[in-house]
């Protein structure tokens, strides 16, 4: 057994076929298949069932592949330890950010971060909470920025800031009066698509699960706050917006925002990594950048907030 064989096994699992895995590994399919077959013979198990196309992963194979990921990740961690000892900082970092955070937070710090770390290739993707959790657990993703807490046994959470929700109501002008989420006209409420933690949080704030009288013959599945807001404005509806998403609104739109009565609903935003994540220096650097740009915006982030769980 060697490291290359483990990499080939994981490549087949990730790519879904021997052919795609061979292309990704820059070798011939027959060579890759032979190397994996030798490994199976050595381990005395079948990792892939080749009777099907694409090849299926066996039950034993699932366990073996998960362990391969751990081993390969620890090998990468060893390289990171050496980099820390020698002062080097390079490689690729994959970051997943939920769509209701990415367009509003990332522009505040990404340019400075990348300029300070020129030898690191950052790959940042917008992803749902569940996909971020799954990919970090499977070591396909290095870092996640999303709403917490998640209470996942394999993930370590680092708090960044608490972000309050604001009411956007197209039919009302902003006033000194505070909004009460218990008395909103829920028939005019618009939500994000299923799978977005913001939808779950708004449903929790408004206790929608216990309201059987809410019926609408139009259900639009929006994956972004900007698209959601367009429908709200056009249909004279209302929705809840996280604070950072309100900073770029026009003066006219800001006139339709209202604060909530205390304790105001809010969400906790944090960074999550796998419990075996080793790039601690880079993580601390990233956290410091985000805290530096968000702390002046939120001030006393724990002041009279009701933190709504994302899951």
For residues 132-160, give the mean pLDDT. Answer: 92
**What is the arithmetic mean of pLDDT over 272-296?**
90
Helices 3-15 and 29-43, interaxial angle, to 10°?
A: 110
Range from 108-112, 137-141, 212-216, 301-305 carrying the lowest mean pLDDT: 212-216
Segment 142-162 mean pLDDT: 93
Buried b (16+ CB within 10 A) or exposed e, 205-230: bbeeeeeeeeeeeeeeebebbeebbe
* Third-level CATH fold of 164-266: D-Maltodextrin-Binding Protein; domain 2 (3.40.190)
CATH architecture of 91-161+268-299: 3-Layer(aba) Sandwich (3.40)
- Band (pLDDT 50/70/90 cuts) for residue 40 is very high
Confidence of residue 193 (pLDDT cuts 50, 70, 90): low
pLDDT of the residue at 215: 56
Q: What is the mean pLDDT of residues 102-131?
A: 92
Mean pLDDT of 167-194: 76
Domain assignments of the chain as residue spans, ordered by start: 3-83, 91-161+268-299, 164-266
**Confidence band of 279 (pLDDT split at 50, 70, 90):** confident
Q: What is the mean pLDDT of residues 147-174?
A: 90
Query: What percent of the chain has a predicted confidence (pLDDT) above 90?
Result: 45
> Residue 85: is its pLDDT beyond 70?
no
Domain boundaries 3-83, corresponding CATH code: 1.10.10.10
**Around Cβ 295, how many Cβ atoms within 10 Å?**
13
Report whether 89 contacts 117 (CB < 8 A): yes
What does the pLDDT average to over 120-139? 92
**Cis check: omega of the bond before 84, within 30 degrees of 0:** no
Which has the minimum average pLDDT: 3-17, 20-34, 194-208?
Answer: 194-208
Answer yes or no: same fold for 3-83 and 164-266.
no
Instruction: Work out the percent of the chain whose per-residue pLDDT is above 70.
Output: 84
Assign 136 a pLDDT band (cuts: 50, 70, 90): very high
pTM exceeding the 0.85 threshold for the entire prediction:
no
pLDDT at 21: 92
Q: Is the pLDDT of residue 204 over 80?
A: no
pLDDT at 33: 93
Q: What are the tokens at 216?
A: 């609408």
């Amino acid at each position: 057994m060697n490291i290359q064989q483990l990499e080939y096994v994981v490549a087949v699992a990730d790519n879904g076929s021997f052919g795609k895995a061979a292309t990704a590994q820059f070798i011939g399919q027959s060579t890759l298949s032979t190397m994996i077959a030798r490994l199976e013979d050595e381990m005395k198990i079948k990792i892939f069932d080749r009777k099907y196309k694409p090849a299926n992963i066996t039950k034993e194979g699932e366990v073996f592949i998960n362990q391969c990921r751990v081993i390969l990740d620890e090998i990468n961690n060893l390289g990171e330890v050496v980099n820390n000892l020698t002062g080097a900082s390079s490689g690729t970092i994959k970051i997943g950010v939920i769509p209701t955070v990415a367009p509003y937070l990332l522009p505040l710090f990404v340019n400075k971060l990348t300029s300070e770390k020129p030898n690191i290739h950052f790959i940042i993707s917008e992803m749902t909470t569940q996909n971020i959790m799954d990919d970090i657990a499977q070591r396909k993703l290095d870092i996640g920025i999303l709403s917490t807490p998640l209470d996942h046994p394999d993930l370590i959470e680092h708090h960044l800031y608490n972000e309050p929700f604001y009411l956007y109501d197209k039919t009302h002008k902003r006033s000194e009066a505070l909004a009460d989420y218990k008395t909103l006209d829920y028939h005019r409420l618009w939500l994000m698509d299923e799978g977005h933690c913001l939808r779950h949080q708004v449903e929790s704030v408004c206790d929608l699960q216990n309201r059987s009288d809410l019926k609408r013959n139009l259900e639009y599945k929006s994956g972004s706050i900007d698209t959601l807001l367009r429908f709200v404005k056009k249909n004279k509806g209302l929705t809840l917006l996280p604070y950072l998403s309100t900073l770029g609104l026009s003066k006219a739109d800001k006139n339709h925002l209202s604060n909530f009565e205390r304790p105001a609903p809010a969400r906790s935003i944090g960074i999550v990594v796998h419990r075996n994540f080793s790039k601690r220096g880079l993580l601390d650097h990233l956290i410091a950048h985000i805290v530096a740009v968000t702390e002046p915006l939120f001030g006393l982030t724990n002041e009279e907030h009701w933190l709504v769980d994302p899951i």
